[in-house]
Chains A and B, each alone.
Chain A
């Protein structure tokens, strides 16, 4: 069994994030989309790249839900992805990478696997 450790990256302050929407976090050379659902008080993080046309765009999309499943719609062609699993909900694009998020002392942390 391979041990994985989670490396928590401090992304931004809670008040910098957008309520019921997304922001893009620069994480080294990577871009991570961070989403905040005030109604559920839930945070989600995924890759910012939409796999459909390889656009750095998911953070600018609209969030919502499909049944209970939280989701994000890419602003380019409205491809939707589950924020819980990363799976594509419209068509058969590749799934997107998801990351754990935690809040501590007013800071938002994104969990990166080493």
Chain B
């Protein structure tokens, strides 16, 4: 059979999704794509992350070779300029003529640009493509202040982009009396505005723009009320306009206000021509979200494979993080009396607004709005969509169950029908996910993503996917007791408590009392870490020395070839010229390779074991101390220069970083700990990528916790806002003690939080509201650790018994390891490469 030919106009997210869908259904088609943009389809939903470190490649939906591998012909940078429906042919801008059996129009939308005098001035941009972003980025070199026209969903996304570009001032101008008028009510908008204001955005609502002023370049905006706002650039985000011009030109029916009219199969007035995504007009609606676009792609692909799926309209519920603030809107967010009753919770202290609308008989949830905290979104949406009967206390849905059991979450999950849609982007149901766990053995979110594609679109459903997975595994009796190793049939937390209760002080004592056998490389470092966290004794005290992991045992990091690296502490990254000179001299004397670390310190590599005490003698004499780079302990507290020098700095971030680093130095924990302090929202110290990070605000400090870089980067979350220095340290004390006490071995704070039932909300309750009543004890315990701090290297070089162990040969202490070999590179040494057997 001859293959039928499908031409797809547009290589955006929906066009791409169509290809994926049709390939998975059938091999009977040849696919040819024409894209207007110069690059492969990319993730427009997360476009603002382009200013946040993601590259165009990161945003790309496919690998470079994907299209070729699937046998798809892709023409980029070549928009179709004419459709000849009589001859079923299209003509491209570059002069290609291609025939089709079916045509898919997925041309998306263009930003709507209102006709305001001066709109064509330099410095006025739209926000849609990576090219737009590049233009904006380049222009910020000339701009100190920026404005966004439009306070809807996209407008706020664009405002975030401007903040990420470090403009000194970002303004949002909205014509309507409130932000996000299609999604949230005015009380919700008020809450959102005050939160965004605290983050440095100026918001103007009820402002109609009358003209854009400036000679060639924009210099200000004039408003209908006579007021004026100076700005160096403007990003227009006042809505979208479906790209229907090509269809219109070829005589395909379009709506009076734009959009290609389609039926429930996505067919246009010409049955061989389909339209999907933001260019399609279904039942008088343009759907400007990704999930319905994907659903349209599915419906169109199904139709071509003779599977009569239909598009039934789409729920416009949405949840997103706007500049760090959770905002969600679901079902019918606005319905009011007499059709429904609303339950509203408003907490202006924490900046939380929640509204749910329930039917008059109290049995059904109809919709609602969540601002500032939207963890309940997935469950609430499911409750609306599946018409789940409400409990007699529907307020529990937004306030949490008070005093009852904590089973509500799982009971909710269990109560969902199998066909409940969990991932609306990919159309994945609860049944499919449970099946993947039961039948295909998927026991991680990653495995589920691979197997079912759930969570690969906007990602909003991932927490629910994870909960479902855990819930299903539990039902299968899959709970595995979390014991340390064969020598200790206890969890880390149980061991911690028992060591404390029995007052055990060495590894051997712990093994005698609580374990069996001779221990191993898993339990030894773990117990050593617990002992250090509990008692803070010198870790190399006799009996504990050989229970330390290799790096801790020699107080240095073992490197390729068997030499060690040395990192003295440089609190907050602040160092005097005199001390810099000392580091240079020591490195020169002992022949060490030097490199600046990621944590604002200096690392010296290539030290022989026997040189370590000599090196440290010199460093300590010059006032340095151990940097604990070898330990699962506090590493460094990075800082930006702060208000002492920086013209934007709000507080003295360096002094505060030093205070924090000196407080927690040497603190042993389940894993390494990193921290940072930034002097303003520009966040030059990258505090939000740390286990605990602090950012100066006008009123004090914002404390973020549980972030990390590394292989699975995760942003830290706001634990407390606008706190003073002492309170902030109190919270960190409690947070760290809670973490040290309860985390699994080698678990950093981010995965620790991810596993915590109740998540950030629970953690905040424990740390800030002292819900466990442990705050005082933890603060005392931390103070005891702080007071018993000692520089391990100082103790080590002063103790001849410990010092003796820093020799390679027991029977020839004066000789260095002759097998150590170095190569040279750029005028310094490097370790010889691994030699493989």
Contacts and interface: CB of A to CB of B under 8 A. Distances in A.
Interface string A1-32: 00000000001100011111101111000010
Interface in B797-820: 805, 808-812, 815, 817, 819-820
24 contacts: A11-B810, A19-B542, A19-B543, A26-B811, A31-B809, A52-B837, A53-B836, A54-B835, A54-B837, A55-B562, A56-B819, A60-B558, A62-B520, A62-B521, A62-B546, A63-B518, A64-B518, A64-B520, A64-B523, A65-B487, A70-B518, A71-B520, A73-B521, A75-B558
Interface string A30-74: 010010010110000000000111111100111111110011010
B815 A26 contact: yes
Interface in B550-573: 550-551, 553-554, 558, 560-562
Contact of B834 (A16, A26, A53, A56): A53
Given A17-B810, A57-B558, A39 B815 contact: no
B355 interface: no
B486 A66 contact: yes
B517 interface: yes
Given A20-B508, A60-B558, A25 B518 contact: no
B547 interface: yes
Contacts of B836: 53-54
Interface string A76-104: 10101000000000000110000000000
Given A21-B545, A65-B517, A73-B520, 9 more contacts: A12-B811, A18-B545, A24-B809, A31-B819, A56-B817, A67-B486, A71-B520, A75-B550, A75-B551
Nearest to B507: A20
A47 B565 CA distance: 25
A23 B487 CA distance: 24
Nearest to A16: B810
A24 B807 CA distance: 9
A25 B809 contact: yes
A34 B546 CA distance: 14
Interface size class of A (residues with CB under 8 A): 35 or more
B295 interface: no
A93 B521 CA distance: 18
B517 to A, nearest CB: 5
Contacts of A52: 837
Interface in B499-528: 508, 511, 517-521, 523-525
Contact of A12 (B508, B525, B810, B815): B810
Nearest to A65: B518
**Which of B520, B554, B812 has the most chain A CB within a 10 Å cutoff?**
B520
B549 interface: yes
Nearest to A60: B550
A11 B809 CA distance: 10
Nearest to A34: B810
A62 B810 contact: no
Nearest to A23: B810
A64 B487 CA distance: 10
A66 to B, nearest CB: 7
B510 to A, nearest CB: 13
Contacts of A53: 560, 834-836
Nearest to B818: A29
B518 A40 contact: yes
A56 to B, nearest CB: 5
A60 B808 CA distance: 9
A60 B517 contact: no
A37 B561 CA distance: 27
Contacts of A54: 834-837
Nearest to A56: B819
B519 A11 contact: no
A93 B837 CA distance: 9
Contacts of B519: 64-65
Contacts of B551: 75
Given A56-B562, A66-B486, A75-B550, A24 B808 contact: yes
Contacts of A80: 521
B487 to A, nearest CB: 8
**Which of B518, B546, B550 has the most chain A CB within a 10 Å cutoff?**
B518
Contacts of B520: 62, 64-66, 71, 73
B562 A78 contact: no
Contacts of A55: 560-562
Contacts of B560: 53, 55
A51 B819 CA distance: 14
Interface in B151-183: none
A60 B562 CA distance: 10
A36 B307 CA distance: 73
B810 A24 contact: yes
Interface in B4-18: none
A56 B547 CA distance: 20
Contact of A39 (B518, B525, B558, B808): B518
A67 B819 CA distance: 34
Nearest to A90: B521
Nearest to B609: A60
Contacts of B525: 62
A46 to B, nearest CB: 15
B13 to A, nearest CB: 42
B547 A20 contact: yes
B817 A61 contact: no
A11 B811 CA distance: 7
A25 B834 CA distance: 23
B809 to A, nearest CB: 4
Contacts of B524: 62, 64
Contacts of A26: 809, 811-812, 815
Contacts of A71: 520
A34 B811 CA distance: 11
A57 B811 contact: no
Given A40-B518, A62-B550, A66-B520, A94 B810 contact: no
